[in-house]
Chains A and B, each alone.
Chain A
C-alpha cells in the first residue's frame, strides 16, 4: 500500500492504494469517475485515454502511483461551470457520437492534440487520433468534429 496525491480535474485527492493498481482502476473505482472506459485493458484501443500534466496517457497501462503529485484530467473535467467544452459541443453538433464508448477517450486525445497544435490539418488529425479506436462512426464525423472544435477554440483565443 502506498499513499499518493492526485489532482483530478482540479480537485485534490489523497489515496492509499496498492502499487499494482492502474490509474484507470483508481479513477473509476475509488473516485467513482466512470467516464474513462475499459475497452481492452492493454493499451490498444484508447477508450481509457486521460491527460496527465496535459499529456495523453493510456490509463489502463499506467500505474496510479506514476501519477502521484500530478494533474489528471478526465472527460468529467472538460465542462466548466455547466458549460460544455467546445470539443464536446463539436462532437455533439457533428453527430460524432454513436455508442459513446470511445467518446471519452477521443475527447481527451482531441484536447491533447489541440493544445499541441491549435490548427491541425485533416491529415494531422487522422494521424494524432489513430490510436483511439471507434467501431461505430467510421471516424468521418469525429475528424470533422475535431476540425470544428479547433476552429471554435482558435476564434475564442
Chain B
C-alpha cells in the first residue's frame, strides 16, 4: 500500500480554530453599508387565483423603501430541471407560503409590519393534498395546466399517469411478469414517510447589491453557488456572467441549500431600491417554506424462488408539493438506489414525482436513496422472516460483487458493502443481551445501503504557488461543514510533499474561483479532490520547469520535497520555492516570466446517462461511484410509554480511502443526529397544506439526550479503493443517513414483533400498534 504523508492522517480541521473562537464568518455575519432588510409576503392559501395586491397601506409605513411583486420582475419561469416557477406568484398560488410580494425596509421589524399591511385578494380554488388522487389520469385538480409547455433541462420518461405528474423514471430489467408467474412466494408491502426538513442551524439568508456596471453581487448561504447563480440569471433573464455569488462559511445545508431560496428576492429588492438588501428567513419560514424531503409512498413486491429474490417491483411516489423545486430530479436519481446493492435479475421500477398543493419537497441528504431503502431494507427483513432465515445470510446471498454487472448494465466496482455488513453484524451479535426486562423489550436489527454520486459532473481547481513557498487552492466548492476545506488542504499538501500548514484553501466567489458543481451528491472529496490533484500536478510541473531553467538542467533530473527542489543525484544541491521569484525594488518579489505559477485542472465525469424507458446504461457509467455501508442497532422499547431508546449503535462505511479518519467518524456520527430524528421524530404536520409545526419545539430534531452511551457506539471505516478516486477515496456525506430508519425498524421488529412501515415511528404509533396487537 502506498505510503502517504498527509492522506489518512487525523489532521485537525483547518477551519477549527476560527470556528471555536467565533471568528468564522457566515453570510448572516456580514454587514453591508446602507443595507436594507427584506421580508416576504406569502400566500395563506394552498391553491387560489391571485386577483389583486394592494400595497398602498404598506407603502405608508415609515422606513419602507420598496415593495416588489410579480410586476417588478421579468415574466420568466425558472427551476431545477423543470422551469415551473415564477419568483413571485402571477395568476395563481399553488402552496401555502408561496411568495406574492416582498418589502425592503430600514429594519426587519419595519419590513415585517409592512408585509402584514399588504392586502392580497384571492379566489380560493379546490386543492389536492392526497398524492394518490393527484396522480390520477383525471385528477380533481390540475395544478399546472401549462405543464406540457414548460421547458425542461432534463427529460422525463413517458408516463401513463395524469397531468399532475412532473417526472416519471423507470427501470425495466428482465421480465418481472414472467418471473412473478413462477415463484414460491410473493410478498408485497407499502412503506411511507412524512415530509421532513433538513433544518440547517443557519437558516437561509443572503444579501444582494447592484454594482454600478450593472452586475449583481450576491452574498449567499447557498451550498451550490453556481446553480444559485444560474437560477438568479434565469429569473431575471440576464446572462449568468452578470451575477457574482460570494459564499462565506455555511452553517449546515444537507441539501436544503442546494436550490435558490432567499437570493432572488434580495436581488429583486436591490434592483428596485438600488441599495443592498438582506433577506433572512425566520425559522418558521425555513421549516415551512423552504423545501424538505418530499413525503412518499413506496410499494414493493418481491417474488421468491428457491430462497432467492427473482423479481422485484417497486413504485415510489413522491409528493413534491406545488412546484417541482429540487425535487424534480429525485425520482430519476432514485433509480440508482434500487440496483446498487443486490443482484436481482428482474426489476421493474417506477418513480413518480407529482404536484399537490402541499409544501415543497426537494433535496435532502440522500436525494432519492433513503426513500428507496426505507422500503427495500425493511422488506429484506420481512422476506427473511417469512422464509425463516437469518436476514444477514439472506442479504449475503443477494449481494452484488466487484466486477458484477447490475440489472441496468453498470459494472460494479469498489463495493465494500459485505465487509461493512460483516463488521456491524458480527460485532453486534458477539455481545450478550437481555431480551426482556418487565416492560422493556429489547431487539437488534441492521440495514445496509448504497448511495450513488451523481454524473455528469465537473470540478475545476486552480493552484497557486506563492512567493513564500506556500500553496493556494482555489475552488468553487464551499465548505458546508463536512470539512472539504481540510480535505483539499490535505490533498494539496500530499501532492506538494509539504505540511498542511503551508496550504491555504480559498472558496466561495464565482467571479474569482473556477467552476464547481458544489457540495451536493457526496461529490467533492471525489470530484473536487481529483481536480485539486490535477491542478497540483500542473503547478508542480511548472515549478520544476522553472527550477530546471534556473539550475540549467533537465526537469527530469529534479525532485522536490517540503518546499525545496533538488537534484535527484545530489539532493544537497537544491533551491527553495522562494528562490524561483525575483526581488522587486522595495516591493516584494515577482516571477520574471509567466506571471504566476498557476496550476489548473478540470475533473469531468461525463456520461450519457441511461435510457429513459428502461433505465439501462447507454454508454459510460451514469454515476461516479457508489458509497456503501451498514448500520446496526440494539434498541429498547418501553411497552408502557412507547418510547424507543437506542442502546447500541454500530456503523460502517466504505469510503474507498479515508483521507481524514477523524472527519469520516464525524460524518458517521451524524446518523446519530439526523438519522435518529428522521426515523423517530421528524415530520412536518400538515393541515390543508399548512405546516403546523414550524419551530424546534414542535418540529423535534434529536438532542444530546437521545444519544446512546459513548461506549456503545462503534464505527468501522472500510476501504474498498475506487480506481479513479483520489488515493482511492469516495464520499460518504449522504449515505450515513440511509440505513438508520430501516435498521431501527428492523431492531424494533425484533423487540416487539411489530413491523412499522410509516416514518417517523413515534411513541404514539408504538402504543397504538401494541394495543392493536394485544387486542387481537
Contact = CB atoms under 8 A, between A and B. Distances in A.
Interface string A71-82: 000111011000
6 contacts: A36-B22, A37-B201, A92-B17, A100-B249, A127-B704, A129-B704
Contacts of B663: 95
Interface string A38-59: 1111101101000000000000
Nearest to B480: A99
Contacts of A142: 704
Contacts of B572: none
Interface in B640-682: 662-663, 665-666, 669-675
A139 to B, nearest CB: 4
Given A98-B666, A99-B201, A138 B21 contact: no
Given A37-B26, A41-B282, A134 B201 contact: yes
Interface string B694-738: 011100011111010110010000000000000000000000000
Contacts of B710: 122, 140, 143-144
Interface stretch (B8-16, B149-157, B445-453, B532-540): B8-16
A77 to B, nearest CB: 9
Nearest to B662: A95
A138 B671 CA distance: 7
B21 A91 contact: no
Contacts of A38: 28, 203, 280
A111 B482 CA distance: 25
Nearest to A88: B20
Interface string A81-114: 0001000100111010111111110010000000
Interface in A3-35: 28-29, 32-35
A103 B20 contact: yes
A126 interface: yes
Interface of B: 10, 12-13, 15-26, 28-29, 31, 198-203, 249-254, 280, 282-283, 480-483, 662-663, 665-666, 669-675, 695-697, 701-705, 707, 709-710, 713
A135 interface: yes
A141 B669 contact: yes
Contacts of A132: 704
Contacts of B672: 138-140
B105 to A, nearest CB: 16
A39 B29 CA distance: 12
A29 B681 CA distance: 36
A130 interface: yes
Given A33-B22, A35-B21, A138 B669 contact: yes
B701 A133 contact: yes
Contact of A99 (B18, B20, B252): B252
Contacts of B28: 37-38
Interface of A: 28-29, 32-42, 44-45, 47, 74-76, 78-79, 84, 88, 91-93, 95, 97-104, 107, 122, 125-127, 129-144
B22 A75 contact: yes
Given A88-B21, A92-B16, A126-B705, A139 B666 contact: no
> At the interface, is chain B mostly helix, strand, loop or mixed?
loop
B25 A139 contact: no
Contacts of B701: 133, 135
Contacts of A133: 201, 696, 701, 703
A136 B481 contact: yes
A79 B19 CA distance: 12
Contact of A138 (B10, B19, B31, B670): B670
Contacts of B695: 40, 42, 44
B72 to A, nearest CB: 28
B713 to A, nearest CB: 6
A143 B707 contact: yes
B707 A91 contact: no
Contact of A107 (B20, B201, B203, B673): B20
B673 A40 contact: no
B665 A95 contact: yes
- Name the residue in A40, A78, A99, A134 with the highest tally of chain B Cβ atoms < 10 Å from its Cβ: A99
A93 B696 CA distance: 29
Report, nearest first, the 3 A-B pairs whose CB atoms are least far apart. A35-B22, A99-B481, A101-B251
Given A126-B704, A138-B674, A35 B202 contact: no
A143 B696 CA distance: 21
A100 to B, nearest CB: 3
Nearest to A76: B22
A100 B19 contact: yes
- Name the residue in A36, A126, A127 with the highest tally of chain B Cβ atoms < 10 Å from its Cβ: A126
A47 B22 contact: no
A98 B481 contact: yes
Contact of B20 (A47, A84, A131): A84
Given A126-B704, A135-B674, A135-B701, A99 B250 contact: yes
A137 B663 CA distance: 10
Contact of B673 (A42, A78, A127, A137): A137
A52 to B, nearest CB: 17
Contacts of A88: 20-21
Given A37-B251, A39-B283, A100-B15, A140 B713 contact: yes
A44 B696 CA distance: 6
B227 to A, nearest CB: 19
Given A97-B15, A97-B20, A138-B702, 9 more contacts: A41-B283, A44-B695, A97-B13, A99-B201, A107-B20, A136-B673, A137-B669, A138-B674, A140-B672
Contact of B19 (A34, A47, A97, A130): A97
A100 B707 contact: no
A35 B21 CA distance: 7
Contact of A97 (B16, B250, B283): B16
A109 to B, nearest CB: 10
Given A44-B696, A100-B24, A139 B704 contact: yes
A78 B202 CA distance: 22
- Name the residue in B202, B249, B697, B709 with the highest tally of chain A Cβ atoms < 10 Å from its Cβ: B202
A152 to B, nearest CB: 14
Contact of B696 (A45, A79, A99): A45
B707 A139 contact: yes
Nearest to B282: A41
B675 to A, nearest CB: 8
B50 to A, nearest CB: 29
Nearest to A90: B20
B597 to A, nearest CB: 32
A97 to B, nearest CB: 5
A142 B13 CA distance: 15
Nearest to B199: A135
B201 A125 contact: no
A88 B24 CA distance: 14
A149 to B, nearest CB: 11
B202 A99 contact: yes
Given A98-B481, A100-B249, A134-B673, A34 B25 contact: yes
B285 to A, nearest CB: 11
Contacts of B283: 39-42, 44-45
Contact of B704 (A34, A44, A107, A143): A143
A33 B23 CA distance: 9
